[in-house]
A = this chain, B = another copy of it.
Amino acid sequence: MQDYSLYVVTDEELSYGRTHREIAEQAVRGGATVIQLRDKTRSAHDLFQIAREIAEVTRRAGVLSIVNDRLDIALGAGADGVHLGQDDLPIAVARRLAPPPFLIGISIHSIAQAEEAKRQGADYIAVSPVFETNSKSDAGPGHGLRMLSEVVHLVQIPVIGIGGINHTNLHHLFDAGASGIAVISAIVSAPDISAAARAMKEQILSLTLHS
């Protein structure tokens, strides 16, 4: 079973100068279980090189590497999977090109999209966004969190949440049955990425040990 518990999405625009690779290395050192490379601006050539470096970092650590959107880059770089959005290649097409054990994840914004994702062969689902904003992240269970809970009960594949998740609210997701949390700024923007990841990981371990 894959461990999606602490899923870190790299983002160089929020990282105060740290590169995708540095984010990946530091997050993995802190206990991240999945690294998703996400970059909408670089060339395919650059992304491929970065994806290959990250796949090496994660392989050594025994964690998963995922590439956002580009299935060809993910396959070429030896990543473990691809993460698709609703505007990307249809899951069924990606599944045909990349059979298991290659992982295909997808962001969903409704119950109908979650059912369709499962039908088309997704390996995991990311409910997005769970929380509306970062600034109101401790407002408690919201629309996204209720949807997450419904999706968990509906599909028999791992479900993670993304959007506005930090150390003050992550327990809600595991309470709702999530297999993991996907975080960007809470880790990527932290002064010490590794320490931020480690703190979240310890919280997750204590939550999941008691469940």
Contacts and interface: CB of A to CB of B under 8 A. Distances in A.
Nearest to A77: B93
B44 A72 contact: no
A96 interface: yes
B72 A94 contact: yes
A175 interface: no
A73 B48 contact: no
A43 interface: yes
Contacts of A70: 70, 72
A44 B87 contact: yes
A141 interface: no
A94 B71 CA distance: 12
B97 A76 contact: yes
A97 B69 contact: no
A96 B94 CA distance: 17
Contacts of A96: 76
A89 interface: yes
A88 B72 CA distance: 11
Contacts of A89: 44-45, 48, 72-73, 76
A75 interface: yes
Nearest to A76: B93
A144 B174 CA distance: 61
Contact of A43 (B43, B75, B87): B87
Interface of A: 43-46, 48, 69-73, 75-76, 86-90, 93-94, 96-97
13 contacts: A43-B87, A44-B69, A44-B88, A45-B88, A45-B89, A45-B90, A46-B87, A48-B93, A70-B70, A72-B72, A72-B89, A76-B89, A76-B90
Given A44-B88, A45-B90, 6 more contacts: A43-B87, A70-B72, A72-B72, A72-B89, A72-B94, A73-B89
